[in-house]
Structure 1
Amino acid sequence: MCRMQARWSVSRAPYWLALVAGITTVSLPGCGGAPAPVSNETAAAPTKAKPAKTKSSESDDAEPSNPNVRVDADGRKWIGDIPWDVFFDDPLAVVANNTPVGGAPAAGTASMTPMESPFPETPASPSPSAAGGAVDWKSLVTMEQIADEAKRIRNHLTSSLQSQGSYNGNYKDLAVDGAVVSALAAVAGLHPGDISWKANSRFLREYGLQLNGAAVGLGRENYSASQTAAENIEAVLNGNLPGNAGDPPAARPFAEVASRAGLMNRMEKASEWMRANINAESVFNKELEQIRQESAILGLFAKIISDKTYDSTEEEDYVRPAGLLVAAAHEAVVSTEEKSYAKFQDAMNQIKKACDECHLSYRN
């Protein structure tokens, strides 16, 4: 994926592909373990990139410094609510680089110019949508994969909320966990499959949203609120319902309950883990189950952040690469079923190119 400077207007509707773009830069722990999510801050809707200015026009019509750039208490630089360090400084140079993953041949790219799209007009793999526009959730993720992701988050909540100190070191990751829990619960309520807590998925969705909103900074107040939300999540996953659960609606728009920035972070980690660790066919064959899990989560969340309730989802430059990302993640899943390392390499290259294409349109 690419890193680049992006222009974002500040809002509570987080944006997806910018953070997936950072997958080539961070290494994760060794094979076999599911990646821990990275920090989550709500991302705003992107604004389309402006045409590049010539040197002669820059002196006459220079833009003021970006008012959305800020530095947090930890000294980390942000553009709106997106971390500065996930973007490449030169996106055009990055997208021009057609070096494939793991040494796979880059078929059909020799004559491609940097601005030429490497994709067909329509994704090659079948669209995971049912008739009438309803999402066919079972084609994107199984209930077993949802359960595995929920188990990963449960373990992370336990280790990260042992004390205020452990919370302070993990609160951004906990906010990501909240977004992921909300998204998983919302999908579980719509999925035709079954899971032990499906009947209470609407409550789990709300507790995930509470965690995402609680883990927003250091201090005892945020720690206590996050701990309460996590305890409620644990209760629902165990088949219990807290006495003050209330009566939340059966369904809510994804944009209201699933932070796009949080989902972007989890998507980034899924792609990052595969790119950093699955670098040989022997490793691929040993990690088929984990690759299938990470690919399914990547494709699921790419589909969710394409939901029309999020900002920018009416723009072709957003919708097109989002659809290509869903298709590429599906191909990665298929590669594990067919045990084809070559197909996996191609899928990873397409995932990266989808992000590059998006960020040529949404950049500073």
Structure 2
Amino acid sequence: MLPPALALASLLLTCGCGSGGSEAPAATESTAAQPQAATEQTQATDTANAAPVKPRGRNEVWTDDNGQKWFGNVPMDAFFDQPYEVASNTTATGSAPAADSQPAGEMPAEAVAATTPTAEPAAPTPDTPSTPSTPETPPTTAAADSWDQLIPLTDLDEEIKSIRNFMQETVSSVGNYNSSMTMIPPKVATLAALAEVARKQQESVSWKDDAAYVRNLAKKMNESPLQRGPKDHKRLQELFEGVSDILNRSKPAGLEEPPAEDSFAESAEMRSLMKRMEDAEKTLKTEIGSADALGSRKAMALHEAAILSVLAKIVTEPGYGYGDDAEFKGYGTSIVEAGQSIRAAAEAGDFAGFETAMSKVATTCQNCHSKYKND
């Protein structure tokens, strides 16, 4: 049996060299052409110079006198050492590495850059004047006659505490109640009115969520004329204890739900509020008679002026019967402004300004009373 290499060679010779066979692959002819030509030349020379050569078989392996091995008439060096590996190798020959390849029709990046015309820089455009920014709108402040401006939270809280202390002393006994009975209506009317103001203010007292209960309890204290004796004393005492508990942040259980909305007129009688305004004017007039007194009693002046202004605004609110009366509302506005002027004078230590504002209060009250006091 022939070795595999010789068997493959025999097959190649059979397919490519026999008459009438198909053409051998171009690669095989190219590979064997040069050695075969050299061999034929050598054979011709040897034939001319040597003795006749013994005929060799087609598949015979033999060695000539020069040591050259042959397979039939084909020298052995025409065959590959590992024919099976060569036959199974499908790598294309003569191809350049992929990294060096350049697609047909494309130019290297450097060439493209060199041939691409450089764009001329755009002509500078004239500076466009910038649109001035819109100035920020300053935060809105409360109106001059808003509840927060008319009576600051500290003054409202101070007035409530003053009324509370007065009522606590008054209802402590029947005797105290009887002796202070006429002073109660202006106090509790002011309490009811300021409780409603507390609900409307932007600033918050600690009891703001329950201010409607305070307003309603104070309203009940004045719902009928007070009578001397233990009966009204006890009724007033029970109502005040509810107010006191609420101010202490301990609202009693079972309290009657107050109306969701109750006007000032439904909670506080105008006559009682006017009495508190009158007391404020008298206090300012009697307690502050000089620049020194204005300086030493500044806090009191600020407080009484705030009470004067806020109550003057309240009595011009709808429900009191003068909502459409421009003259009455004008008097009320004049008192509001005078009260604010008193506060400004007290802050600045301006006694002359204080006296001017007090004169305005007196004149306005006199003119108003001359027309409306008996209504």
Which of the five TM-score ranges fits, normalised by the shorter chain? Answer: 0.5 to 0.7
SS in 2 for 1:169: helix
In the alignment, is residue 210 of structure 1 matched against residue 206 of structure 2? no
2:193 — aligned with what? 183
Alpha-carbon deviation of 1:249? 2.8
Equivalent position of 2:271 in the other structure: 261
- CA drift of 1:292 comes to 0.1
Matched with 1:42 is: none
Contact 1:174 1:215 (C-alpha < 8 Å) held by counterparts: no
**Identity over the aligned pairs, expressed in percent?**
27
Contact 1:177 1:208 in 2 (8 A): no
Contact persistence 1:183–1:254 (CA under 8 A): yes
Partner residue of 2:254? 244
Structure 1, gaps ≥5 residues long: 1-127
Look up the equivalent residue of 1:142 and give its one-letter code.
Answer: P
1:301-335: per-residue Cα shift (whole Å, max 9, x none)? 00000102111332233111111011101101111
Higher relative contact order (CA 8 A, sep 6+): 1
| Separation in structure 2 between the aligned mates of residue 214 and residue 230 of structure 1, nearest angstrom | 15
Shift, 1:215, TM fit: 6.0
In structure 2, how many angstroms separate the alpha carbons of the residues matched to 1:339 and 1:215? 43
Which of the numbers 281, 285, 306 marks the counterpart of 2:316?
306
Unaligned runs of at least 5 residues, structure 2: 1-140
Two-structure CA RMSD over aligned residues (Å)? 1.8
Task: Note the 1:77-96 alignment, pairs <5 A.
Answer: none
> Which residue in the other structure is 2:370 paired with?
360
Tell me the residue number matched to 1:272: 282
The residue type equivalent to 2:292 in the other structure is S
Change (3 A) 1:261 1:129: farther
CA distance in 1, matches of 2:370, 2:229: 39
Mapping for residues 16-95 of structure 1, pairs under 5 Å: none
Aligned mates of 2:309, 2:347 — CA distance in 1? 16
Alignment counterpart, residue 180 of structure 2, candidates 163, 170, 174: 170
Aligned to 2:165: 155
SS in 2 for 1:170: helix
After TM superposition, the runs of 4+ consecutive aligned structure 1 residues lying more than 6 A away are none
TM-score scaled by length of structure 2: 0.60
Of 235, 249, 252, which residue of structure 2 is paired with 1:225? 235
Does residue 197 of the first structure (1) align with residue 214 of the second (2)?
no
1:139 to 2:174 alignment: no
Letter in 2 for 1:307: E
Q: SS where residue 213 of structure 1 aligns?
A: coil
- Alignment CA distance shift 1:190-1:363 (3 Å): closer
Per the alignment, residue 29 of structure 2 pairs with none
Q: d(CA) in 2 for partners of 1:130 and 1:144?
A: 18
8 Å contact kept, 1:200–1:236: yes
Query: Counterparts of 1:363 and 1:257 in 2: how far apart (Å)?
Result: 21
Counterpart-to-counterpart distance in 2, 1:272 and 1:244: 41
Q: The residue matched to 2:158 in structure 1 has which SS?
A: helix
Mapped partners of 1:359, 1:262: distance in 2: 15
Offset of residue 246 of structure 1 = 2.5
Q: Distance in 2 between matches of 1:191 and 1:276?
A: 31
Aligned to 1:44: none
CA–CA separation in structure 1 for the residues paired with 2:355 and 2:292 = 13
Q: Is the 8 A contact 1:175 1:213 kept in 2?
A: no
Deviation at 1:194, TM superposition (A): 1.2
Assess if the C-alpha contact under 8 Å between 2:291 and 2:349 holds in 1.
Answer: no
Distance in 2, matches of 1:206 and 1:143, equals 21
My pick for the range that moved more, 214-223 or 257-266, is 214-223
Q: Which amino acid aligns with 2:165?
A: N
CA distance in 1 between counterparts of 2:373 and 2:174 reads 37
- The DSSP-based 3-state class of the residue aligned with 2:222 is helix
Question: Offset of 1:359 from its aligned partner?
Answer: 2.6
- Deviations for 1:214-247, whole angstroms, at most 9, x for unmatched residues? 6612122111111111111111111111112132
Residues 77-114 of structure 1: CA deviation (Å, up to 9, x unaligned): xxxxxxxxxxxxxxxxxxxxxxxxxxxxxxxxxxxxxx
CA distance in 2 between counterparts of 1:155 and 1:163 reads 14
The structural deviation recorded for 1:340 is: 0.8
Query: What CA distance in whole angstroms lies between the structure 2 residues aligned with 1:129 and 1:263?
Result: 25
- Name which of 287, 301, 307 aligns with 1:291: 301
Would the alpha carbon gap of residues 170 and 215 (structure 1) be closer, same or farther in structure 2, given more than 3 Å must change?
Answer: farther
